[in-house]
Structure 1
Amino acid sequence: MAETGLFPIGSRCFLYQVDCPFDLNHQRRFWAMADAMAERDGVAEAVPGMTNLTLRFEKVPEDLDALERDLQRLWVEGRQKDLTGKILEIDITYGGSGGPHLREVCDLTGLNIDEVISLHTAPDYVVFAVGSHAGYCYLGGLDPRLETPRRKVPLQSLPGGSLSVAGLQTGVSASAGPSGWNTIGAADVSFFDPLSVPAALLMPGDSIRFRAAEVIA
């Protein structure tokens, strides 16, 4: 688990992270904290992440100890923000060249292909945060029976639209890049368009529903 505290990631940018469970109730607390901190004088941006909150200031904060105490107070208060947005249905081709690790996930979980796909398509996955790369959605809601370790040797390049699982998370790559997750399928969807407003297709509080359009065993 992550260490709780305030950590610098630049002269005017700080990360407040909390050692807490990865679930919707705790994520709602970060959403509420982001709103509260966004109203604070000198805060240029407050962005909720996965069990953390990133703060960007207009100038270097003078008293970091006081800032950390304020953040700790907000966390202990436990206020939550309930976000309910749109649901995006995404057709997935499970297995085949776009899902090369589907059988490995079966071996790791002790489930067969039909069971893996049934469990994976059952929930509506809430977007907890958007980050990592432009448009990428961190999702909550993966069935614990699909929990798998990260790959020992990451892939150097994974196409955009790749559907992967690792730990208690699942997600679709918004663009090509390296990955240490287990890729079980592929989708034809664009999560980020710099010419659109907003540029990201989904926001925190939105949800994704996966549908098995095709299975290539």
Structure 2
Amino acid sequence: MRVLPVGEHALLVECADAEETAACHAELLRRRAVRELPPVAEIVPAARTVLLDGVADPPALARELAGWRLHGTVEGDRRTVEVPVVYDGPDLEVVAAHWGVAPEEVGQRHAGFDYRVAFCGFAPGFAYLSGLDPAWAVPRRETPRTSVPAGSVGVAGEYTGVYPRSSPGGWRLVGRTDAPLWDLDRDPPALLTPGVRVRFVPRGGAR
């Protein structure tokens, strides 16, 4: 890991890969929960970094983090959120061709992986889910759609995601869900937050 200062009250932890990032994020949350971490306002994971914002003494914490040895195991949030999906997306044929399966098998294969929220971004409530086998990575569309319906379930590279609202997007769409991904009357508003485990459950209507 490499620890870099960001402004006067933040640190950015750069990690070698997604696995180290997940382990670092989980360890930070664990130590904060048992009060072994100095006060930090926010801990925000990304693809290869973890941002620590609102740090009282950044230099001291940077020295402490530099001495950490992560064990490579990820505990994170123990919750598992089940997301019902109708696998009838417009990109089933394209994804099926990449995976070497029939279009009607895509839903079963996609739902067969164990997913975890690696980080959130792009739009409020949009979670990047890790867990898809790297051998099954799917390239994004060359030309993004101008509008993707809310609830669309897509894959891009090694990630899976669910669009919380209608927006442009270039992910390959394999299905749809009516699960409320973003609700301002809920605490937290996002259904899927970093560390949460996710299980996709096929529903009727899939091809």
TM-score range, shorter chain: 0.7 to 0.9
Residues 51-200 of structure 1: matches in 2 within 5 Å? 51-57=48-54, 70-74=64-68, 77-79=69-71, 82-95=75-88, 99-200=89-190
In the alignment, structure 1 residue 28 sits paired with structure 2 residue 23: yes
Unaligned runs of 5+ in 2: none
Contact 1:165 1:183 in 2 (8 A): yes
Tell me the percent identity: 31
Offset, 1:191? 1.6
Tell me the distance in 1 between the aligned counterparts of 2:176 and 2:198: 14
* Counterpart secondary structure, 2:204: strand
Structure 2 residue aligned with 1:6: 4
Contact 2:132 2:158 in 1 (8 A): yes
Moved more, 161-170 or 99-108: 99-108
Tell me the distance in 2 between the aligned counterparts of 1:178 and 1:136: 13
Tell me the distance in 2 between the aligned counterparts of 1:102 and 1:11: 48
Structure 1 residue aligned with 2:41: 44
Cα pair distance change 1:56/1:136, threshold 3 Å? same
Offset, 1:44? 2.4
Contact 2:21 2:49 in 1 (8 A): no
2:14 to 8, 13, 17: 17
Offset, 1:215? 4.6
* Counterpart secondary structure, 1:214: coil
Moved more, 10-19 or 176-185: 10-19
Structure 1 vs Structure 2 CA RMSD: 3.0
Contact 1:46 1:54 in 2 (8 A): yes
Cα pair distance change 1:58/1:16, threshold 3 Å? closer
Contact 1:35 1:46 in 2 (8 A): no
Cα pair distance change 1:111/1:49, threshold 3 Å? same
Using the size of structure 1 for normalisation, the TM-score is: 0.76
